[in-house]
Amino acid sequence: MKGFPAKTGLKRSLILAFALTTGLGLTACSDIGSSIDNMFGGDTEAAADAGPPPDAGSAPAPAPTANSVASNGGLAPSVTITPVAIEPGGDTGTAVSKTIQSVRAQVSALEGKLAANAQRLNDLRNNGAASAGAYQQSKAQITTRLQVGTTKGNPELVSLWNSAQSSLDALSGNINGLNALGTDVATDSSTAHFALDQIGATFNVSGAVDEDHRQLSLLQDETSQTLVMIDRLLSEVSDAVQRQTAYVANERGGLTTLAAAIKNGELYGGTPGVTAQAASGGVQLATAGAPLVVIRFDHPDVDYQQILYAALNQALQSRPNAGFEVVAVSPTRGTAASVQIAQTTAKRYAQEVMRSMTDMGVPATRMGVASSTDPGAAASEVRVFVR
């Protein structure tokens, strides 16, 4: 499958799991490989605002109403938006009465927009909940299969991953819709504030009758109530944007890690007892002031990727901008020819480790390579330092 090579290793996953905390919408990608490339080095842009189709066997969702804003999949509480009824008033024939009628028309228009915007928020939350649910379902199936073990690059998991990616892209597009809604509601809030100021100023205009001031007082109360509802809706939209943005940014990194896990046929990260595993597998996690990881190549096919991933994970949690020095260490025992061969072998292992780190998402600009010898080393080693 294009964009999903069979090469073992994590494809640009590690750095994103800690550094990708912004971006409202990401371009939808057709496969895992292109998705990781875009996430690491590409520009983000708005994704299509469309959720996945409903399950054929599921019951249809109840029709939303303007007065009921649904919860976004448990990410946001429900809210009720009730537009204020604007009482009509008769024309007294004064200049003040004409101003009252003009302001009343503005406030009435705001009431209509308030109901429409509440419906938009309802729809966006429902779409977001559907996308989040579809994403979590695909993610859970992938994680379950990886947990029990599967083949490298399993096409069934690739298909599930692409479905999860599409659902997350739909949620990103939903955030763009929420941002647009927030802009419209903020404009309405400014208009309501202006109308309220205009009402206050009209009280001081001469030539009014008592009926004009009665209508002004009533309209002032109605406009104040309208403003409260608009600002409440604006707060709800802002909260929804913040929650969904944080959720998508968080899940982008996890989705990238899943892509790498699918390529390797095993679940990476979250390894309990990592120190014991490292010691028994030819890999050691060093203490403070020492190398971050010491990989001892004392037998063929040293399985160090999981331990290396966990160590880099921990290092980047503490220092997200950390760089790394990869040192090829060779023993000095034997003849001069043996020492030369050992140095060449150690350098080859160091290049292999660097390729693994690149697959895990560490940029080449944040890695350096060096070579050294150690009389106490019994076999070629690669030591990774944090710099």
Single out the residue of 186, 61, 173 nearest to residue 117, CA to CA: 186
Single out the residue of 228, 223, 230, 225 nearest to residue 187, CA to CA: 230
Residues of the chain with pLDDT under 70: 1-80, 268-289
Task: Please report the pLDDT score of residue 269 as a whole number.
Answer: 53
Cβ(357)–Cβ(304) below 8 Å: no
Task: Please report the pLDDT score of residue 334 as a whole number.
Answer: 82
In Å, what is the CA distance from 176 to each residue of 164, 197, 320? 19, 32, 28
Task: Please report the pLDDT score of residue 221 as a whole number.
Answer: 87
Task: Please report the pLDDT score of residue 324 as a whole number.
Answer: 92
Which domains, from first to last, does the chain contain?
Answer: 14-264 (no CATH), 274-386 (3.30.1330.60)
Q: At what angle do helices 32-41 and 155-202 cross, to 10 degrees?
A: 40
The vertex-256 CA angle with 251 and 261, nearest 5°, equals: 120
Take residue 381 and report the two structure tokens written for it: 């080693």
Antiparallel, parallel or unpaired: β 367-373 and 381-386 = unpaired
Q: 273 in the Ramachandran plot: left (φ > 0), alpha (ψ -120 to 50) or beta? A: left
